[in-house]
């Protein structure tokens, strides 16, 4: 049987790049998102064409009932899970200066970007431990997709930066707790990636990237992030729990 990966936010942008990369490596997929199944059917069929089983389970990771429903659904079918990719995330609806940002925006971003993956990891980790105790050959991991915004300041979207910094710490916490269970936890930290989320800043960033803001002088792609996640999910980076894999073309390298 194929190994199974759950990718939250896996039907668009970075999540879809990750899902495609995992499918290419022979994983069966469980995808989660908030859109109705009818809106993602084309994406699901495209992933199935790569050869594996693909399920879509709608739900909001910020909501505890939705998280429980997601995990119970996967326990029922396919009945196994090896890799959790906490990818789902949102930017603020409105970029606002720290002095003007709203509490509602903060709560929404933190709920989806931090609380959701924190407690989804808790639920999935319990299940992973059960699977490992039942089968010594079972191998799995957790991958949290954060952002260079975990350390790079943007005062017009402070809640996003705080959420990603929190998820970076959560990755370290879970890596420490789950190490004794034989379940590694990793953080993948993308830079400026060309997706629908960044479409609104493309005109601003195109000349900056060409001018050297990113040393590799190109946008990152969802495929770049997907290949990084696959390396971790397939065990190609052993003895490295807690590792932060930065996929940013050198953007955060200290330079003079």
pLDDT at residue 200, as a whole number: 86
Paired strand residues for 248: none
DSSP 8-class letter at 149: G
Other Cβ atoms closer than 10 A to 199? 10
CA atoms of 205 and 123, how far apart (whole Å): 39
- Out of 56, 118, 160, 186, the active site residue is 160
pLDDT at residue 197, as a whole number: 82
CA atoms of 63 and 81, how far apart (whole Å): 21
CA dihedral 66, 150, 253, 230 (to 10 degrees): -20
CA atoms of 17 and 164, how far apart (whole Å): 20
Specify whether the CB–CB gap between 130 and 79 falls below 8 A.
Answer: no
Give the residue from 76, 56, 66, 62 showing the smallest Cα distance to 12.
56
CA atoms of 121 and 84, how far apart (whole Å): 8
pLDDT at residue 229, as a whole number: 99
SS (H, E, C) 187-230: EEEECCECCCCCHHHHHHHHHHHHCCCCCCCCCECHHHHHHHHH
DSSP 8-class letter at 115: I
pLDDT at residue 68, as a whole number: 98
- The answer to pTM > 0.85 is yes
CA dihedral 115, 119, 124, 126 (to 10 degrees): 160
pLDDT at residue 196, as a whole number: 87
Q: For the sheet containing 28-33, what is the strand order?
A: 54-58, 28-33, 4-8, 83-86, 141-145, 185-190, 244-247
CA distances from 34 to 37, 59, 113, 190 (A): 9, 5, 14, 22
pLDDT in tens, the chain (256 residues): 999 999 999 999 999 999 999 999 999 999 999 999 999 999 999 999 999 999 999 999 999 999 999 999 999 999 999 999 999 999 999 999 999 999 999 999 999 999 999 999 999 999 999 999 999 999 999 999 999 999 999 999 999 999 999 999 999 999 999 999 999 999 999 999 999 888 888 999 999 999 999 999 999 999 999 999 999 999 999 999 999 999 999 999 999 9
CA atoms of 190 and 182, how far apart (whole Å): 26
DSSP 8-class letter at 253: S
Paired strand residues for 30: 6, 55
> Tokens 């606002």 appear where?
96
CATH fold, domain 4-247, is Rossmann fold (3.40.50)
pLDDT at residue 234, as a whole number: 98
| Active-site residue flag, 106 | no
């Amino acid at each position: 049987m194929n190994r199974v990966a759950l990718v939250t936010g896996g039907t668009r942008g970075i999540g879809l790049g990750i899902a495609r990369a995992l499918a290419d490596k022979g994983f069966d997929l469980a995808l989660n998102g908030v859109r109705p199944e009818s809106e993602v059917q084309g994406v699901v069929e495209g992933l199935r064409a790569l050869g594996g089983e693909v399920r879509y389970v709608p739900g909001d990771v910020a909501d505890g009932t939705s998280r429980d429903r997601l995990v119970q659904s996967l326990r029922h079918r396919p009945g196994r899970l090896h890799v959790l990719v906490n990818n789902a995330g949102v930017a603020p609806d409105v970029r606002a200066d720290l002095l003007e940002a709203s509490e509602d925006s903060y709560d929404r971003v933190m709920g989806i970007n931090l609380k959701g993956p924190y407690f989804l990891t808790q639920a999935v980790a319990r299940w992973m431990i059960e699977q490992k105790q039942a089968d010594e050959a079972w191998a799995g991991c957790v991958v949290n997709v954060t952002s260079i915004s975990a350390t790079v300041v943007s005062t017009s979207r402070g809640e996003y930066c705080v959420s990603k910094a929190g998820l970076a710490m959560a990755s370290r916490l879970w890596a420490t707790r789950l190490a004794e269970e034989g379940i590694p936890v990793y953080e993948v930290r993308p830079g400026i990636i060309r997706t629908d989320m960044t479409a609104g800043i493309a005109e601003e960033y195109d000349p900056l990237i060409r001018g050297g803001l990113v040393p590799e002088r190109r946008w990152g792609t969802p495929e770049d992030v997907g290949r990084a996640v696959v390396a971790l999910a397939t065990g190609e980076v052993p003895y490295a729990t807690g590792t932060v894999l930065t996929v940013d073309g050198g953007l955060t390298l200290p330079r003079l």
